[in-house]
Chain A
Amino acid sequence: MTMKKLLSIAVLLSVTFLSSAQNKKYISAMEKNVAALDTTRDAAQLQSLANNFERIASAEKSEWLPNYYLAYCYVNMTYSTKGDPIDTYCDKAEKFINIADSISPNNSEIYTLKAQIASARISVNPMSRGQKYGTISGELREKAKQLDKTNPRPYYLEGTAFFYTPPMFGGGKDKAKPAFQKALELYESFKPASTIAPNWGKSSTQYFLQKCDEK
């Protein structure tokens, strides 16, 4: 065995070792934070989780998931605020979801979150924004469904959109229910691609389904 050969094997080995170590670090960091997401709705905690994801995203430039979860944190922060700050959070969420989109184009989960961001913008002023962002959100949702027919989340979003829209504007519980039912059906058979892939919304779907039956 020549010296040269040995060296290249050593390099190869160490690179694999390094990268697998790096990968482990990535997965474990993500797992920890994604798990924390499930139990967090408080804005300050979401902010701190967003910060964690932002650091992971800064180190892992080829991964779409840290950016996806960053956007997810920011869009969820909009629900604990009112008025104009919603736009600030949405702008931030949009920035990161667009990075995720450029890393992983035509991803159903990314389009679902884009739809959610558009919906969140409506609450700044439902009267004047409803039509514009409702349309945009609806289109993104349809695209998300198209990209992955097994993804329950676009249906869940559709359900919430109907649920919060007054019947006079074509929403209401009656229309929300079938969407939630469809989502739940998909959730039953949905298998996330990995331990850190998006897997949220099932318990909320069950909660809303219950609400739909309330008088």
Chain B
Amino acid sequence: MKQLFTSFLLLLITSQGIWAQTKVSGKVLDQKKQPLPGVNVYIKDTYDGTSTAADGTYSFIAADTGEVSIVCSFIGYDQLEKKVRLTGKDFSFSPSMKEALNELKVVTISAGTIEASDEKKATVLKPLDIVTTAGAQGDIVGALKTLPGAQQIGESEGLFVRGGEGSETKTIIDGMVVNKPFFSSAPDIASRGRFSPFLFKGTVFSTGGYSAQYGQGMSSVLALETQDLPDQTSSTVAVSSVGIGAGHNKLWKEKKMSVGFDFNYANLLPYFKTVKQTPEYTRAPQFTGGSLNFRKRTSPTGMLKFYGYFNLSDLGIKTLSIDSTNGFKNLFELNNRDVYTNITYKERIAEKWMLNIGASYSTNVDHIKTWNDTITSQSDMTQGRVVVSRGIGKLSIIRIGAEYQYTEDKFKLDGAKFGYSYHRNLSVFDNYSAEFVEADLYLTPKLVWRAGARGEYSTLEKEYVISPRTSVAYKLGELSQISFAYGQFYQKPDRDYLFYPRIPGYNKATHYIANIQRVDDFHTLRAEIYYKQYNNLTSTIDSTNGGYGYAQGLDIFWRDKKTVKGVDYWISYTYLETKRKYQAYPKEVTPPFAARHTASLVFKKFFEKLNLSTGFTYTYASGRPYYNPNNPDFMSDRTIDYHSLGINGAYLRQIKNCFAVLAFSVTNVIGNEQVYGYRYSYDNQRSAAVTPPAKRFFFVGLFLSFGQNRSKEVIDNNN
């Protein structure tokens, strides 16, 4: 009994740790053998431990003896745990800790890629920048045109990237191609994109060398990613100088599902009555549109999304015929109907395995009427896409995917001229399939190598091609990195040649890009040089695919959000040297959509006391080539230089649960003469400049948004 009690006492005392203490000491270093202060060093599951001093040293008394785990933990570093045996003798432990991987310390592929995202850091733009850039008119493409690589083309829509045509840029929403991303337009008048920038949480604008996940864009890809579930239920109302709109977005209580829709109607008649336009509008442009979205979180890792829109547009225009001397006017009437739908599903199917599937259907019908002709042009597209990806280690990833697109194009023409009538009824369809595999291999967190290949087959082009794509990026320091990209890009000839007699086959471009960039929280500096080789371009002069060309140049981008308080500005500059021989060109020349020098200055300032946000965008482009039939030197004439200064402003106000924005914008404030090119009469005797339909465009709009959650009253800024 006595024995028992003694042993018990002994147990009690030892467990209280009076005996057999161990002094643990040492120095904690980082990977570069620099001392780390503030590290928590302790014996796991006990109170015993301490923080390292400024020189990384520490010392503490551990009560327990025997097998224990020493833990070193510090923010921004991987936790370190080591099993050791403490005996009561002084114990020395001097580990070095590894910096934890985080997004900012890991290199990303930047060659040819300009990203706008809220989620990712170190991006060139934020989604909000797209709507607050003066001169962009709230149009995604308008804002991207202020970035290096894009041309200032005002006579037709699209992104003309690095010597490429607008049709060489593919627009993609959640992985699915948008066949007709822009409103149908009248000749020589550019139209806007069909979707609101507010729908997207991420935008990737590739100016070349892009991933094997995408294809059929010889120059560029604009990949848009739709928003996930909204933060709250809300409604919006908009009234502007061109139309009205309303929308509602409902978020279910458990925050797992949302349904949103919006509707808008625009009619430019009142505006055109106020601001005189050069062309005579027989029917003022009218747009009716609506969109619907549905989002459901099907599991913690699963997301189902539907997005769809429809657009109806109508316009009629009369322009002075250049071939007539007695004031005869050409007529162009356009009625467009467009529907786009897209459904995607994303889920983690196993540890490290992700599945993305999607399907899309779209249809676009243009009815065009001129004095002589009635044209119906229809373009339908059905597509499906599956991508499976697997993470390898912490950073690397491999993606395997396949896609299929069925497109059908119809063209119907009924015309009559000089008492003689003519008809065309054509239809072309294509089964396009592609498969790709691509791996982003992180050899170290500072060095990534992307290797991929894409195989494509089109029943129309009767050709199977494999395009290799590769890029490498290396982090030079905390803030700067270099990146290189190479890739081959095939594209079906433009729709304009679909109905021409031609030899099947793809157009082809090969890109070489080198990029260097330095990004911190407030500044971005990027410089990129590129060379692009064009082959197998459609040559109508001899009905072959023998066209060719090249583009090379330099892009520079600088953004500064800090130097001047409350001011955010960016400057971009593009130097472009490009020539091509294609279409009906008799020789290799610089095409009309390429200016040698392009520069933009975007300036934004926020006047907090006045609740006013303002900005301007100044854009310059050197004169572009145009075809003058009277000049024997083909395409050697140049337009005057292009200057444009756009301003915008927004007055913001919160009234109870209503957030109001009163916005205005004016393009070409100074009224510079802008000439995009010239058209010549059949006899080459007369010419007319291609200019914007009006010198300036004025816009005023009031946007109201009503949050239904009380707490939206506050946009916390708690620092």
Do the two chains belong together in a single complex? yes
Residues of A with Cβ closer than 8 Å to B? 3, 6-7, 10, 14, 17-18, 21, 25, 29, 44, 47-48, 50-52, 54-56, 58-59, 61, 74, 78-79, 82-84, 88-89, 92, 116, 118-120, 122-123, 125-139, 141-142, 157-158, 160-162, 164-171
CB proximity of B62 to chain A, nearest CB, Å? 12
Let me know if A83 and B710 touch, CB within 8 A: no
Residues from chain A with Cβ under 8 Å of B51 in the complex: 47-48, 51-52
Query: Chain B nearest CB: distance from A21 CB in Å?
Result: 7
**What separation, in Å, do the CA atoms of A51 and B50 have in the docked complex?**
7
CB pair A120 B715 closer than 8 Å: no
Which residues on the A side are within 8 Å of B37 (C-beta)?
44
Contact of A166 among B15, B49, B611 (CB under 8 A): B611
**Count of CB-CB pairs between chains A and B under 8 Å:** 164
B718 adjacent to A169 (CB under 8 Å): no
Instruction: Report Cα–Cα, A14/B14, bound state, in Å.
Output: 13
Interface-centre pick from B15, B104, B652, B716 (highest chain A CB count, 10 A): B716
Q: Are A47 and B38 in contact (CB under 8 A)?
A: yes
**Chain B residues closer than 8 Å to A83, beta-carbon distance:** 521
B648 to chain A, nearest CB (A): 16
Residue contact A134 to B715, C-beta cutoff 8 Å: yes
B715 A160 Cβ-Cβ under 8 A: no
Query: In the complex, which of the residues B40, B232, B715 contacts A165, with contact meaning CB atoms closer than 8 Å?
Result: B715
Contact at A84–B521, with CB atoms within 8 Å? yes
- B714 pairs with A166, CB closer than 8 A: no
Asked if B104 contacts A137 (CB within 8 A), the reply is no
Nearest opposing residue in chain A for B119, CB measure: A128
> Other CB < 8 Å A-B pairs besides A44-B37, A131-B231, 14 of them?
A44-B38, A48-B38, A51-B42, A58-B45, A78-B719, A119-B716, A128-B127, A129-B118, A138-B710, A138-B712, A138-B716, A161-B716, A165-B714, A171-B714
Of B40, B654, B709, the contact of A170 (CB 8 Å cutoff)? B654
Q: Are A123 and B714 in contact (CB under 8 A)?
A: no
Would you call B422 an interface residue if the criterion is a C-beta within 8 Å of the partner chain's C-beta atoms? no
A82–B521 CB distance below 8 A: yes
**What is the interface residue range for chain B against chain A?**
35 or more
Q: Given A120-B719, A127-B126: A168 and B714 within 8 A (CB)? A: no
19 contacts between A and B (CB under 8 A): A7-B4, A51-B38, A51-B42, A58-B46, A125-B118, A129-B118, A130-B716, A131-B712, A131-B715, A134-B712, A138-B711, A138-B714, A139-B711, A157-B718, A161-B716, A164-B717, A168-B652, A169-B652, A171-B717
Complex CA–CA separation, A129 to B710 (angstroms):
18
Q: Which of B8, B44, B710, B718 contacts A116 (CB 8 A)?
A: B718
Give a binary string over B545-565; 1 marks a CB under 8 Å from any A CB, 0 the rest: 000000000000000000000
Interface string of B683-719 (1 = CB under 8 A from A): 0000000000000000000000001011111111111
**List of A residues within 8 angstroms of B102 by Cβ:** 88
How near does chain B come to A111, taking the closest CB pair, in angstroms?
13
Given known A-B contacts A6-B1, A29-B47, A55-B47, A166 and B717 have beta carbons under 8 A apart = yes
Residue of B nearest to A86 (CB): B719
> Smallest CB–CB gap between A104 and chain B, Å?
20
Which of A55, A161, A168 meets B653, CB within 8 Å? A168
Specify the chain A residue showing the minimal Cβ separation from B719: A123
Taking each of B4, B121, B127, B719, which has the highest tally of chain A beta carbons within 10 Å of its own beta carbon?
B719
CB of B524, distance to nearest CB on chain A (Å): 14
Query: Is there contact, CB below 8 Å, between B8 and A14?
Result: yes
For the complex, what is the distance from the CA of A83 to the CA of B128, rounded to whole Å? 18
Complex formed: what's the CA distance from A86 to B46 in Å? 29
On whether the beta carbons of A59 and B717 are closer than 8 Å, the reply is no
Shortest A44–chain B CB gap in Å is: 6
Taking a contact as CB atoms under 8 Å apart, the answer to whether B75 and A171 are in contact is no
Is the CB of B608 closer than 8 A to any CB of chain A? yes
Do A54 and B73 touch (CB < 8 A)?
A: yes
Contacts of B717 in A (CB 8 A): 122-123, 126, 130, 161, 164-166, 169, 171
Choose among A21, A141, A160, A165 the residue with the greatest number of B CB atoms under 10 Å from its CB: A165
Cα distance, A21 to B15, chains bound together (Å): 11
Q: Kindly state the separation between the CA atoms of A122 and B715 in the bound complex, as whole angstroms.
A: 9
